[in-house]
Amino acid sequence: MASPMLSASPLLLQLLRWVCVVLFLAASVVSGRHHSAASTGSGQSSMYLAPSCRSHTASLADFGGVGDGTTSNTAAFRSAVEHLSQYSGNGGAMLYVPAGKWLTGPFNLTSHFTLFLHSDAVILGSQNISEWPVIAPLPSYGRGRDHAGGRYASLIGGSNLTDVVITGNNGTIDGQGAMWWSKFKSNKLKYTRGYLIELMWSDTVFVSNVTLLNSPAWNIHPVYSSNVVVQWVTILAPTHSPNTDGINPDSCTNVRIEDCYVVSGDDCVAIKSGWDEYGISYNMPSSHIVVRRLTCVSPTSATIAIGSEMSGGVSDVRAEDIVAVDTESAVRIKTAVGRGAYVKDVFARRMTLTNMKRVFWMTGDYKSHPDDGYDPNAIPVVENISYQDVVATGVYKEAARLEGIDGAPFKGICIANVTAELSKSKKYPWMCAAVEGVSAANVSPAPCEALQQNKDGACPFPTDTLPIDDIAVQQCAYDVPAPAAAAAGPKA
């Protein structure tokens, strides 16, 4: 068993990485202001990091925005995006959200567009439900997640977009979700709650350097999209808040989630691809997904979950350098008869876990269906799941609960170099049913019999580079619109 000092070192390294990221970003902003001011003659210039820079900039204040925390800015946001969309084919545009509290209902973004939040900017989700439009359910779900029928729009949305950036100097997007959670729990909502950010059928999405608070439900939901990067994002919600998942790529290809910190009432990351017969029919998988340097706190849910809505298929998921504290499980695979499709080629390594209910969890009988129309012959395939280099302390329930499907066992499970330190001795530290696989001798406590075929060396982990890792950021300069510009009307 690793010594306590060795067990703690990955957590310390993770914290040091966060400090380095913050210092780097602060230095970039300061040096960027100095450089840009010198080159433009303005004392109100700065720089930021993004895959694409913009040729045109305007402030929300230019469109009548009032940052007092009580005035609705829904019309201002919508007008600003509509005005700036004219530049999508001419260098793109950035909407600058100044310091202040900007109350708003949902609004959509446009292509070749950056939403930039000042460090003291707070976008507040409106508490007036009439400001939240009701939109159609996702075709791969067939209905809303909370209720049959439609769903409320997400606070920041968009569809069929290309090259979208949401970033800033760590400004805040606050969904003010307490009202939504209360109405949901008391069954007073007619439709499914909206999310903080949802971009649909889009390509090249970059979300970074923002703090997301108190979402009504899921926080970041890219769906039917490709080339998505979520980086340097902090997500915070009370750990008892319902369905406040952190980052949920859904029927997405080429996704990179890095250096994020999530405290949530549900899964910190959940990879999905549609629900039962609707997901099978839509047939759009999630694949080529990378999760690195994630820190998670979620006492009732998983650090990384796959499913339970996975009826389009999920494959090639790579997670490494993960830290979880006070969390229900490290990796959880959730599925059921009726889901169909597959979960395959899932790889996780270098995980440091503290105060966990269990380390690994697989569920083949999740018992959640959109309606009674699911196909009982649609049996999901789960295979090629590899976990290695894991140190867990304070595990209070069991090392793992791995439950496949009778007649369709989960196959190809590989576990190596895993230490789960149980807070109390357990007669059966592993619970296994309908699973097949192998484990190495350096797994403690010893796994269940179905996994005790000896394996020499490590479990597989891909060595190739995915295309999403080729997306790089650059320094982008912008002139901060002066406050007096608000009286002059929109400009770019």
d(CA 468, CA 292): 13
d(CA 309, CA 316): 17
Q: How much is the CA Rg of the chain, to the nearest whole Å?
A: 23
DSSP string, 454-492: EE-SPPP---SPPGGGG---EEEEEEPPPGGGGGG----
Residue tagged 């400009």 (tokens): 491
Cis omega (within 30 of 0) for bond into 445 = yes
d(CA 35, CA 33): 6
DSSP bridge partners of 48: 476
Handedness of CA 19, 24, 29, 33 (dihedral sign): positive
DSSP bridge partners of 207: 166, 230
DSSP string, 217-264: S-SEEEES-EEEEEES-EEE--TTSTT--SB--BS-EEEEEES-EEE-
d(CA 280, CA 141): 10
Contact 306, 329 (CB under 8 A): no
Q: Which of 250, 222, 220 is nearest to 235 (CA)?
A: 220
| DSSP structure class, residue 15 | H
Is residue 439 within a helix (H) or strand (E), and if so which, with residue range? strand 435-440
d(CA 286, CA 452): 31
| Residue 74 falls in which region: left (phi positive, over 0), alpha (psi -120 to 50) or beta | alpha
Is residue 403 within a helix (H) or strand (E), and if so which, with residue range? strand 398-403
Q: Which of 145, 235, 237 is nearest to 194 (CA)?
A: 145
Q: Which of 259, 258, 246, 169 is nearest to 210 (CA)?
A: 169
Q: State how far Cα 484 lies from the chain centre.
A: 38
Query: Identity (one letter) of the amino acid at 49?
Result: L
Question: Token digits for 139?
Answer: 């075709």
Is residue 339 within a helix (H) or strand (E), and if so which, with residue range? none
- The catalytic site residues sit at 266
DSSP bridge partners of 305: 270, 332
